[in-house]
């Protein structure tokens, strides 16, 4: 679970010490920043991987990109663009390391999350 900074859920998680990861660059919607009483970190990571594998099949991506629902279609387009940027930068890191931003850019910059000025306050 990733509570969004600025929300009541984030304030509650911070006050109660539930956040296991506080590095904002890890708030990427793929990394569970809060733990659970029932699963280890490894189990959480594996379940997220399983969920993404099931939800991001080529068939689902195709139907998402051509969905009649505007919001769903835009989310799949956004996801595809982010994935292409990350993939392209990965290839550049291998072929032309100087052109790659992989070592200099946090994942949050790929996905478009902005660190609020008040985050570290």
**Phi and psi at residue 61, in whole multiples of 5°?**
-65, -45
CA nearest 116: which of 5, 39, 28?
A: 5
Structure tokens, 36 = 């659970």
Which pLDDT score is estimated for 85? 81
CA distance 119 to 43: 29
How high is the mean pLDDT in each 10-residue block of the chain (121 residues)? 82 90 76 85 85 82 93 89 79 74 53 59 55
Which pLDDT score is estimated for 106? 53
Please report, for residues 3, 52, 94, 98, 111, the alpha-carbon distance to residue 29 in angstroms, rounded to integers and kept in the order given: 9, 11, 26, 28, 9
Strand partners, 19: 34
Structure tokens, 116 = 């609020």
Which pLDDT score is estimated for 100? 59
pTM more than 0.85:
no
- What are the residue boundaries of the structural domains of the chain, listed by start? 1-55, 58-121
CA nearest 44: which of 75, 21, 12?
A: 21
Q: Which residue has the tokens 């994935």?
A: 83
Residue 105 DSSP code: -
């Amino acid at each position: 679970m990733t509570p969004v900074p600025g929300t009541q859920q984030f304030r509650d998680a911070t006050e109660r010490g539930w956040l296991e990861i506080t590095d904002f660059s890890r708030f990427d919607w793929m990394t569970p920043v809060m733990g659970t009483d029932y699963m280890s970190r490894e189990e959480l990571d594996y379940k997220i991987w399983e969920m993404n594998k099931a939800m991001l099949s080529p068939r689902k991506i195709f139907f998402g990109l051509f969905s009649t629902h505007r919001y769903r279609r835009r989310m799949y387009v956004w996801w595809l663009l982010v994935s292409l940027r990350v993939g392209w930068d990965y290839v550049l890191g291998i072929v032309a390391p100087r052109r790659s931003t992989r070592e200099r850019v946090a994942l949050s910059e790929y996905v478009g999350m902005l660190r609020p000025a008040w985050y570290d306050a």
